[in-house]
Amino acid sequence: MRQNSKAFNRHGIITLKNVGKINPESIEDFIAHDGYIAFEKALFDMNEDEVIDEVKDSGLRGRGGAGFPTGLKWSFTAPLKVKDKFIICNADEGEPGTCKDRLIMEGDPHKLIEGILIAGYAVRANKGYIYIRGEYYLSIERLGKAIKDAYKHGYLGQKILETNFSFDLEIKVGGGAYVCGEETSLIESLEGKRGLPRFKPPFPGIAGLWQKPSVVNNVETLCNIPDIISKGGEWFRSFGTKKSTGTKIFMILGNVKNPGIIELPQGVTLRELIYEHGGGMEDDKELKCTLVGGAAGCFVGPDLLDIPMTIESLSEHGAALGSGSILVLKEGTNLIALMKNLMHFFKHESCGQCTPCRYGTEKLYRLICKISDDIARNKPDVNDLNEMLETAKMMQKTSLCALGQSPLMPLESAMKYCVIDEFKKRVIK
């Protein structure tokens, strides 16, 4: 990250509000900035169902990429009469180009704890886990201290703030496998097994960790909760669009003048993100396209510059928002090389459990390598591209989890936008 980044220095609205402003290692500082007020409000002034209703009312959708309504997810788990229920915070941020959760955990760890506490109270859970990727040393350290301080101040533990609500929170450090960001493999890994996805149903909300009901939420999602409770769902809805309420953290990366992380109300367009918040194209070059949502994301070209960057409007155009990372690529970028990089990523991260992904990701990588070599020799074969597309389509249809279903999206969109042109240009030459 560049030090002179303007976007990086700007403060956020909800999730990034305190980041850079408060001392992340001081619970007193967090409390002085209205910390734990929302949790106390939920605990003393609201019953469990009112909390869920408020979250439903806010229209908050999961920020991990899938965009499932958070209140609805909680409402599956809340009524289950089971002794042990879990809140699992997915902090295994593995999507390439995504580092929003890290910024929150390093800059405002108590907000995450507060969000987890409110979620725990709402679904009547008594134990929480933060599954955090092993490379996030500073996040692990700061969250660890924050949890200790929260125990000392009576926000965690038995009979919190002298009520009947008890909640324990623990950090689990992951091994850095991309597939463990998938909720069921995350749970397998939490149980101490190989991180292999389970087949659904049952969904974790019904039978998750140790086959007990478990709510799995992303860091950014949970960090929206305190403000929704303290200021209300209606206030939250005042940001963003009708279907995508609130704010979203975007990571503007690549060939822009000011790359960085920024929290903006939902509905912002790609043009605004690149030319306003990102400061425009690097060296004032033309925009070729962007890769939105990381490796499992989608190429979005200049033709979609003016549509809102929300889940629903992007999906109308066959694209997806994913985690909110936006890799900006200037004219002249070698997309075949980029595709090669992406395909290597999938092949490297495939867990190997199901056939289409285990063999398919390898096949895709070998084909893109062949295409790349053939282009260098000016002899590309269009059948290889079609073969890649067919394979990725089959993988999308038959793979067990989202990893094997993912390569189609970047591949298809890349072909739609640019790879084909690039490919054809080389053929003609």
Distance CA 94, CA 23 (A): 26
Q: Provide φ and ψ at 71, rounded to 5°.
A: -60, -40
- Of 212 and 347, nearer to another protein (C-beta) is 347
In this structure, are residues 282 and 28 in contact, taking their beta carbons and an 8 Å threshold?
no
- Name every residue whose Cβ is closer than 8 Å to that of residue 132 and which is 6 or more positions away in sequence: 91, 92, 105, 139, 140, 143, 171, 172, 173, 174
Distance CA 299, CA 106 (A): 30
Distance CA 197, CA 46 (A): 36
Query: At 153, is the secondary structure helix, strand, or coil?
Result: coil
For 360-383, give the DSSP string.
HHHHHHHHHHHHHHHHHTT---HH
- Of 323 and 405, nearer to another protein (C-beta) is 405
Question: In the complex, what is the shortest distance from the CB of residue 396 to another protein, in angstroms, rounded to a whole number?
Answer: 9
Question: In the complex, what is the shortest distance from the CB of residue 114 to another protein, in angstroms, rounded to a whole number?
Answer: 36
Q: Which amino acid is at 337?
A: A
- Please report, as ranges, the residues that interact with another protein according to CB under 8 A: 177, 194, 199, 347-356, 358-363, 366, 387, 390-391, 394, 397-400
Question: In the complex, what is the shortest distance from the CB of residue 346 to another protein, in angstroms, rounded to a whole number?
Answer: 9
- Of 177 and 228, nearer to another protein (C-beta) is 177
For 228-255, give the DSSP string.
HHHH-HHHHHTSB-SSSBSEEEEEEEES
- Of 10 and 363, nearer to another protein (C-beta) is 363
- Of 242 and 397, nearer to another protein (C-beta) is 397
- Of 223 and 403, nearer to another protein (C-beta) is 403
Distance CA 309, CA 284 (A): 23
Question: In the complex, what is the shortest distance from the CB of residue 233 to another protein, in angstroms, rounded to a whole number?
Answer: 31
Question: In the complex, what is the shortest distance from the CB of residue 77 to another protein, in angstroms, rounded to a whole number?
Answer: 21
Question: In the complex, what is the shortest distance from the CB of residue 400 to another protein, in angstroms, rounded to a whole number?
Answer: 6
